[in-house]
Amino acid sequence: MELTFLGTSAGVPTRSRNVTAILFKPGDQGSGRWLFDCGEGTQHQLLRTASHPGNIEKIFISHLHGDHIFGLPGLLCSRSMAGSVAPLTLYGPEGLREYVETCLRLSGSWTDYPLEIQEIKAGQIFDDGDLRVSAASLVHPVECYGWRIEQHDRPGTLDARGLAAAGVSPGPLFQKLKKGERVRLEDGRVIDGREWLGPPQRGKTVAIFGDTAPGPAALTLANGADLIVHEATLEHAMAEKANSRGHSTSRQAAALARDAHAARLIITHISSRYSPEGAAALLAESRALFPETELAEDFYSVSL
């Protein structure tokens, strides 16, 4: 799995940061991508990556504030104008359908590909057999969600050397044995794949938060995650202001990562009031509580 930050500013863009969007590569198979939020200018940011709108299969909108959705109509239309016919699914809060359909109708625009809009509530959103995605309600002035992406555990490593020594030739049979299936050899022997697999490989978990003040769902969403992406709009001295507007501070994001026993934290959604030096100070505040904290910058990528 891989995340690339296309925008990391809160509210408005700055000279060095665009507003919120995260490009997500679900796994090693295929070129499909997911997008988490789509602030104004997101399609311009995409032009500076190896991806394009036609790669995007799913878009998750945390909430309907402009710095998270104003780039969506343009991206949807550009995807159509580029000739993409691949289906696209949008997930987000109530009102997302009205917003998209109204923008397309009033601008005389349309899509030439199947577009599905799912207005969701907290709970499991889908499970495709490889990844399970759940949504949790966050603390914000409007309906807002965070996302927990859980990769299913994968079979352990197949003992190819041992199988070769036992007279099993590499090829299609190895694929079946890797799945834990039983196969019959030409000499009549039956080989049980489960007996030739190492311990299962634990799937990775990523928690991506929308805008939020500290709240009761946060620990469940972040619990044991390999990576948490969390807003850190303001410094901790401004906690009262941040929380009153449905936002978190750098220290509050770090405290959550610590209490959730997460492996890594990336802070983003940095207020435009902060210069690069100010953003570095936010990072220092977070690291004082949770050393495994990183500061997102536009086009920063991280792999799991």
Q: Which residues are catalytic?
A: 67
Residue linked to tokens 């906690």: 239
Q: Give the CA radius of gyration of the chain.
A: 22
* CA 267 – CA 247 distance, rounded (Å): 12
> Are 75 and 43 in contact, with CB atoms under 8 Å apart?
yes
Contacts of 162 (CB under 8 A, 6+ apart): 196
302 forms bridges with which residues in the sheet?
3
Q: How far apart are the C-alpha atoms of 28 and 198, rounded to whole Å?
A: 21
What is the phi/psi pair of residue 151, to 5°?
-85, 130
- Taking the C-alpha atoms of 191, 196, 200 and 201 in order, what is their torsion angle to the nearest 10 degrees? -120
